[in-house]
Amino acid sequence: MATELKHLTTAKYALSLHTTTPELGLAISNFAGETRSQVWNLGRDLSSLIHQYLIEFIQPQTWADLSLIAVAKGPGGFTGTRIGVVTARTLGQQLDIPVFAISTLAAVAWSEASKSQNPKTLAVEMPAQRGQIFAAIYQFEPNTSQLKVCLPDRVLTPEAWQETLANWNTDYQLIQAQSGLAATVTSILELANLDWQEGKCPNWAEALPYYGQHPVEV
């Protein structure tokens, strides 16, 4: 999947975080040939270790080298999602740089689209609590290198999701997002950069988590 983008200046970088699962995913890039990413399985230690890992990961860059922050906003685990979004918002506020909150499902779709020469409509599903499903449908537009949202993130019963797919009027590829999602932290970064190239500059206060469900059944 070829993309032609304007780049951040080589002295400036974008940082992304993915914490919607027990794994921590971090990625940093100047979109001019220098990109690196890493994933750690921190489990319950995520909240206590994320800042330490962040400080170590960005080196040799410094906080002052960052032009934007991107974060997976969910869906995903409630606690992990909250930690990631709060961390991104705090960094954005302190550094006075934009924060892009990117859908976990959109990152999965983007990652899959990048593997295909002729990407189709991408229907992404992920297990939710209480037997429900997080679902969304996207279409990659090769002419503009954009990911079009056809069906925004939502929570559905399996039956409602199957009915939605049965009535969909185009061919689609079904993707099950179940494990290894933190590895799509690079997709979070790339999607944020596409928005950045379009002139979007969201304030840190606009970065909100998407939980989809209440963490406790009511």
Rounded to two decimals, the pTM is 0.91
In the predicted model, what is the mean pLDDT of residues 12-29? Answer: 97
Contact 15, 59 (CB under 8 A): no
Q: What is the rounded CA–CA span in Å between residue 114 and residue 131?
A: 30
Give whole-number Cα distances, 140 to 35, 105, 106, 182, in Å. Answer: 23, 13, 10, 21
Token pair in block for residue 28: 């940093």
Query: CB-based contacts of 132: which residues, under 8 Å, 6+ apart?
Result: 155, 156, 157, 158, 213
Q: Could you give the 3-state DSSP secondary structure of residue 1?
A: coil
In the predicted model, what is the mean pLDDT of residues 89-105? Answer: 98
Q: Provide the pairing of β-strand 99-102 with 146-156.
A: unpaired
pLDDT band at residue 114 under the 50/70/90 scheme: confident
Extract long-range pairs of 40-48: CB within 8 Å, 24+ residues apart: 46/19, 46/22, 46/80, 46/83, 47/79, 47/83
pLDDT band at residue 218 under the 50/70/90 scheme: very low
In the predicted model, what is the mean pLDDT of residues 146-174? Answer: 94
Task: Please count the other Cβ atoms lying within 10 Å of the Cβ belonging to residue 123.
Answer: 22
Domains of the chain: 13-103+180-206 (3.30.420.40), 105-176 (3.30.420.200)
Contact 142, 117 (CB under 8 A): no
pLDDT band at residue 146 under the 50/70/90 scheme: confident
Separation of CA 121 from chain center: 18
Please report which helix (H) or strand (E) contains residue 13, including its range: strand 13-18
Task: Please check the confidence at residue 215 and state whether its pLDDT lies above 90.
Answer: no
User: What is the arrangement of strands in the sheet containing 133-141, beginning at the earlier edge strand?
Assistant: 146-156, 133-141, 121-127, 172-176
Q: What is the rounded CA–CA span in Å between residue 53 and residue 75?
A: 23
pLDDT at 195: 94
Torsion sign across C-alpha atoms 62, 24, 37, 197? negative
Task: Please check the confidence at residue 83 and state whether its pLDDT lies above 50.
Answer: yes
Separation of CA 31 from chain center: 17
